[in-house]
Amino acid sequence: MKKIGLHVLALAVVFVVGFSSCQNKDAEKRIAELEERLKSLESPAATSTPGAIAQPQAPEEKPEGPLPSFEFEAMDHDFGTIKDGDIVTHVFKFKNTGQAPLIIQSARGSCGCTVPSWPKEPIPVGGTAEISAEFNSKGKLGMQNKVVTITANTWPKNTTLRIKAQVDPVQ
């Protein structure tokens, strides 16, 4: 439906510009440009972003050689019922059970209310460490499910930790 609207709009512009200035070379050039753009929008290879070229994305391959591996005591935590405005933190403990030092490149919360912190130094084989997730419940009433995505030199590259809480209003 949106595509039809674009076509109608483009044709209307071509019609108005074309008939209001038949002798104008600039207008003729603009009409030709609009017609070319309309053709590109109609082609099956057209993407949803104007001017974007679709690039096939190759799936990531597992790296060769020994790799580190996470082994968490638990990958999710339920804070239970908390009050609006409470700031709660959970520490996820893990061990590198792989065959190479573990390096965490980043940890991201699913929203600004969830802030992770992680070790910046490599964790040796057999070593242990912690990732903490702080959740600020201000303005987040009801059941909350948040995710912390860890990117590391493991396979797969991303590991997901989950926290949840029932946030009740302050009475």
User: Which structure tokens are listed for 170?
Assistant: 């302050």
pLDDT band at 61 (very low <50, low <70, confident <90, very high): confident
**pLDDT tens digits, 112-126:** 999 999 999 999 999
**pLDDT tens digits, 11-53:** 554 454 444 444 466 666 666 676 666 666 655 554 455 555 5
The reported pLDDT for the residue numbered 3 is: 52
Q: Is the pTM of this model over 0.95?
A: no
What number of H helices and E strands is found in the chain?
Answer: 2, 8
The reported pLDDT for the residue numbered 114 is: 97
The reported pLDDT for the residue numbered 148 is: 98
Task: Tell me the C-alpha to C-alpha distance, in Å, between residue 127 and each of 73, 98, 154, 166.
Answer: 14, 10, 15, 34
Q: Domain locations in the chain?
A: 2-42, 70-168
* E-assigned strand segments in 1-157: 70-72, 76-83, 87-96, 104-109, 114-117, 128-136, 142-152
User: Which structure tokens are listed for 34?
Assistant: 């609009």
CATH code at 70-168: 2.60.40.10
- Sequence-ordered list of residues with C-beta below 8 angstroms from that of 1, at least 6 positions apart, any chain: none
Poorest-confidence range of 17-26, 49-58, 142-151?
A: 17-26
The reported pLDDT for the residue numbered 62 is: 83
Mean of the per-residue pLDDT values of the chain: 82
Task: Judge residue 125's burial from the number of C-beta atoms within 10 Å of its C-beta, 0-12 exposed, 13-18 middle, 19 or more buried.
Answer: middle
* Distance of alpha carbon 157 from alpha carbon 103, whole angstroms: 11
The reported pLDDT for the residue numbered 63 is: 81
